[in-house]
Structure formats: structure tokens, C-alpha cells
Structure 1
Amino acid sequence: MVKVLLTGGSGFIAAHAVDILLQRNHDVVFTVRSDEKGQKILSNHPGTPSSKLSYVIVEDIAQEGAFDEAVKSDPPFEAVLHTASPFHFKVTDVKKDLLDPAIIGTTTLLKAVKKNAPSVKRVAITSSFAAIINPNGHPKVYSESNWNPITQEEAVANPQNGYRASKTFAEKAAWDFVEKEKPNFDVATINPPLVLGPVVHYLNSIDNINTSNERVANLIQGKWKDGLPSSGIWIWVDVRDVALAHVKAIEVPEAGGKRFLLTAGYYSNGEIASAIKSNFPDLADKLPQDLKSDKPDDVYGIDNSRSKDVLGIKYRNLEESVIDTTKSLLAIGA
């Protein structure tokens, strides 16, 4: 059992991480931007004492010094899970809306931990497959050794580039910080691709669904009835496996200094739609007629062995994830 600071506590992955941290008997302090969000999370863990679960306000992670006070604690923190980073494409200014919060948010946190939390030994950071993928030329097999080669110039071209760059530059900044500053802690990064899985109902409405689950929402609401769009990156993972990987990354000594490509395997929008159709027959009339997969036969390979060998992750399958995602979205009004 350790005392953990969890940033971005109301996020899709973080909300599940709170549950797993408590199940595994860790003490948790999470950051949120408002008292309203903090109280909402606390009220859904009734009977959990404040010594086990509490929150601090960090209004803007892109401000220098944003985490200086949040990292101070008595008893002191021993680990940090940094999940706070924007993932959406509704942006007006790529630098201000995507790049700055991701990069400055990461470096500001690491500086604060070094300066004010000498007891912290491990910081696990939510990165992304976006920091690994090379959309202009896939290698034969993706693993943790690959980096997205995106440039500063390409980063501001559009929101999709901006998101990929934000994850790439933020993760590189973390590794550079550890190398140059030689802090009291080491770092592990979790690099998931498309993240599906149930939303935590008390933090969500169908109007503010997280970006990665939008495709399931679009299917069950009939928005893709006329045809499936391209699936995109072809690999996926369940949010509960991602949350567990974050927790394992602070529990397992060998995880320090490592990246973890976290994926359960391949998917297509057609396979997601087929899983919905066979398990929710009353939604069949919302789905398109053609449910065939658009995944290419020569799709790139993936090596997720490190996540299994070091973190012990046993991945959920696509059908289970789609069923649980669909149920959770129907419960909040999809």
C-alpha cells in the first residue's frame, strides 16, 4: 500500500484507476479542476474515509507551478499517476488547447515532484500509441522502441496532428527530464491506442462522452446507419486494463524506466458494430447493413509482450468490452 497522487481524477481512465487503487488498498488524492467534480467522485465512494480518498484543486495544468502545492502531503506521497492531458479534436488553437496542456502539464508536474515531494519513487504517465505510430510509414511490427517522428511544424497543421504531437512531445519531455535532472523518482509510461470500455456513469452524460467511445455512441444512436467510416488505427484496449496497467506501473519495481505498448489486439468498426448487433438485437435497426471489416490484410504487427511479462496484464476481448461499453452508454441516455 502506498499513498498516490492521481492527476486528472475525473477523466475516463482516471475514474477507473481510482476504483482499482482503492481495491488494492492504496491511499488516493486526486486532482480535479473544481469542487463540484471532486465532491461528485467522493459521493460515489460512500464510506471511504478522507484518509483513503480526497482531492485537491488544480485549475489549469498548463500554468507553470500548477502542481507545486498538490504534490505536498502528510503523510507524503510515494507515487504519482499522471493521467491529466487533453484528448479531443474540438480545438481552436492547437498549441494552446493541445500542446501546452500536455507538455507543460507533464514537465510542471515533474518539476513539482522533484522540488516538493522527495518521497516519490515512481511517476507513471499516460502517454499513447500516438507517440509510437508513424502514420506515414508503418514498421513491420510496432513495439515500445518506436517513436512518432512528427515535427513541430507538422504539429500545428490540424487537431489530429496536434493530438499526436502533444502525446509525443510530452512523453519525450518526461524522459528528457529524468535524464537531465536525475530526480528522486523514475518514470514509466503507458501507451494505449483506441481505448474502449464502460464510462463511469456519475461523471458522464451522452453529450460529453469521451472521444474514444464516440464511435460506439454513434453506432447505437444510429448516426452511422448509412455506412461505417474508416476504423483508423486498427488496435484497441479496454479502459479497465489501461487503468490496471497504470496501477501496476507504480507497484512493480521492474516497470521503472520503461514504456508499455498496451493493446488487446486488432479491431474494426465493423467488428464493433457486429458485437452490438449480436448482443443488443433491439439496436439492429440503428446499425448499417454492411458490417464488414475494413482492416487491411497486411496490417502492421504489434508486440505487447512487455505489458504481459512485466505488468501481468491479461487483456479483455473486444466483445466483452463492446457489451460493457454499450450498457454503460445506454445507462446514461444513449
Structure 2
Amino acid sequence: MTRVLLTGGSGFIAAHTLDVLLKHGHSVVTTVRTQEKADKIKAAYPNYGKDKLDFAIVPDIAVPTAFDQAVVSDPPFEAVLHTASPFHFNVTDIQKDLLDPAVIGTTGILRSIKRSAPSVKRVVITSSFAAIIEPSKGFWPGHTYSEKDWNPMTKKDAEESPMAGYRASKTFAEKAAWEFVEKEEPNFSISTINPPMVYGPIIHNLESLENMNTSNQRILSAAQGKWKDEIPNTGVHFWVDVRDVAEAHVAAMEKPEAAGKRFFTVAGYFSNKEIAQIVKKHFPQYKDLPSDSTPGGDYPEGGKDAMYKFDNSRSREILGVKYRNFEDSVVDSIKSFQKVGL
């Protein structure tokens, strides 16, 4: 059993990560923004006492000292899983809404651990394929993306759009984490988990379908009939199931050989057209679903052969991730949305 601090416990990935941690028998304190969020998570795990599941309130992760209190525990923490970072495009100020929370949240927690939690030996950080991809290369046929790749975006590039700001926030935050370890030489090692589009069932407390996490909004839109006339462009054609991402976080903490490594957690390719086809096949009761002739949402001309490849061998070999298939992920997602009113 390990004593673990999990940040951002009410988030999409964090909720599944909490589930895996508890099933593996670890003792978890998770940070949330409000007491109300803590109460809802607690209600989902009525059989776990305070020794196994407790909470720390951290209202704003963009404050440099936000985690100073949260990292102090009795018994002391041995590991920290940092998943808290914004992923949304409701942005008015890219610096304030995206870059600061991601970068300050990440370096802030590493400083707090170094200063106040010397017992911590392992830190796992949720990064993203956004910190790997080279957006200017487009579909880059012939290139295989792996942990060796870094997004080369600059501060100026980040200001172009909310999407650019998001990608830059993940890149700058991850780079800042690796630089911190190099310069500060703390007691702990870090690992990063770098997923692309994350789909799969929601188990966090969702007030309503309007508050759906950004990636799953696509599956929801297809089921709600919003793609009836045209299927949106897919963008990045890589995906992974949230349950596999959660397993990867916990394995990166548990396995000593994961220390000091990035992990590109990717299950394979998908297209928005495939989302629409899976929804139609399994849930024909939904109205206004796209037909096979509805335009948009497909792979580029030439299909997968005309696109970048991926190498997920490190996540399979070191973390032992066995990736789920896309159809199951979409079906399980819709079933979970139905419980919240779809």
C-alpha cells in the first residue's frame, strides 16, 4: 500500500485514477476545489474510511503556494499523481485561463513537495499528446510519433487560438516539470502520461450533460443529432480510453522502471465518422443520426496510410497497458451518458 496524493479528484481522468488506486489498496487523499465536490466523491465510495479516502480543498491551482498544505499528511505521502489542469476552450485570456494554471500548477506542486513532503519518491504528471505533436507538420506521412517528440510551439504561437493555447499549456507545463527535476534535484523522480483524445465512460459526478468533458462532447454531439447534416473534422486521429489512461497513471507510480520517463498512451486511430457509425449501430433509437452518406469527419484522402504513425510500445512494455478497442469505448461512453439524462 502506498499513501498517495491525487490532485483534481473530480476530473474525468482523475475519477478513474482514484478508482484504480482504491482497487489496488492504496490510501488516497485527493484535492478538490470545494467541499461540495469532496462530499460527492465521498458519497460514491461509502465503504472507504478516512484512512483510505480523504480530501484536501485547493480552490485555485494557479496560486504558486496552492498545494503547500495539501502535500502535508500523517502518515506522510510517498507518491503524488498530478492530474489537475484545465482542458476547455471557454477562454478569454490564454495566459490567465490556460498557460498560468497549467505551468504554475505543475511547478507549484513540485516546489511544495520538495519543500514540505520529503517522503515523496514518485510523482506522475498528466501531460498530453499536445506536448508531443508538431502541429505545423499536419498529417506528416512517414513520421512515427513517440515519447522522443516534443511540440516546438513558442509563446507567440500559443496566442493564436484557444487550441494553440491549450497545446502550449501542456507543452510548457511538462517542460517546466522536467527542468525542475534537472535543476532542483529533488528526492523524487517524475513520470509523465501523454494521452491524445481521451474517450470512455464518465464516473465523475457530472451535474448535467452540458458539463461534459471536452473530448467526450464529440460522442455526445453525435448521439444528440448535432451531426445530422455534416460530421465535423476529426483533427487529431489518435485516441485512448480513459480507463487505460488511469491504469497507466497508477502503473507509472507502482513500477520503479517507469521513473524518469514519458509515456505516450495511445490505443490507435479513430475518425468522427466512425464515432457516428458506432452510435448508429448500437443506439438506433437516437434521432437525426448521420447516415453513411453524410459528409465530413473521415480520414484524409489515402486513409491511415497518408498519416503519421504511433509507437506505444513503451506504455505496453513498461506499464503493461492492454488497450481497449474503440467500439467498446464509444458504447460504454454512451451508456454512462444515459445515466445523466441522454
TM-based fold match above 0.5: yes
Q: Show the counterpart of 1:295.
A: 299
Letter aligned with residue 161 of structure 2: N
Q: Kindly state the Cα deviation for residue 64 of structure 1 after the two structures are TM-superposed.
A: 1.4
CA distance in 2, matches of 1:328, 1:290: 28
Q: Show the counterpart of 1:327.
A: 335
CA RMSD of aligned residues (A): 1.2
Q: Show the counterpart of 1:316.
A: 324
Q: Show the counterpart of 2:285.
A: 282
2:286 match: secondary structure: helix
User: Contact 1:199/1:328 (CA < 8 Å) preserved in 2?
Assistant: yes
2:250 to 243, 247, 258: 247
> What are the Cα deviations for residues 114-152 of structure 1, in whole angstroms up to 9, with x where unaligned?
010111011000000000001111361000000001001
Q: Output the TM-score relative to the length of structure 2.
A: 0.96
After TM superposition, which residue ranges in structure 1, 4 or more long, deviate above 6 angstroms? none
Alignment of 1:136-155 (within 5 A): 136-137=136-137, 138=140, 140-155=143-158
1:130 match: secondary structure: helix
> What are the Cα deviations for residues 140-194 of structure 1, in whole angstroms up to 9, with x where unaligned?
1000000001001111221010000000000000000000000000000000000
In structure 1, stretches of 5+ residues that fail to align are: none
Q: Kindly state the Cα deviation for residue 284 of structure 1 after the two structures are TM-superposed.
A: 5.8
Alignment of 1:1-334 (within 5 A): 1-137=1-137, 138=140, 140-200=143-203, 202-283=205-286, 285-290=288-293, 294-296=298-300, 297=303, 298-334=306-342
CA distance in 2, matches of 1:277, 1:284: 9
CA distance in 1, matches of 2:73, 2:336: 35
Letter aligned with residue 295 of structure 1: Y
Letter aligned with residue 220 of structure 1: A
1:231 match: secondary structure: coil
Number of aligned residue pairs: give it. Answer: 334
Q: Output the TM-score relative to the length of structure 1.
A: 0.98
CA distance in 2, matches of 1:288, 1:120: 53
CA distance in 2, matches of 1:184, 1:203: 37
CA distance in 1, matches of 2:150, 2:333: 30
> What are the Cα deviations for residues 25-76 of structure 1, in whole angstroms up to 9, with x where unaligned?
0000000000000010001101211100010000110001110110000100
1:286 match: secondary structure: coil
CA distance in 1, matches of 2:2, 2:251: 12
CA distance in 1, matches of 2:185, 2:291: 54
1:211 match: secondary structure: coil
1:123 match: secondary structure: strand
2:123 match: secondary structure: strand
User: Contact 1:10/1:203 (CA < 8 Å) preserved in 2?
Assistant: no
2:205 match: secondary structure: helix
Q: Kindly state the Cα deviation for residue 205 of structure 1 after the two structures are TM-superposed.
A: 1.6
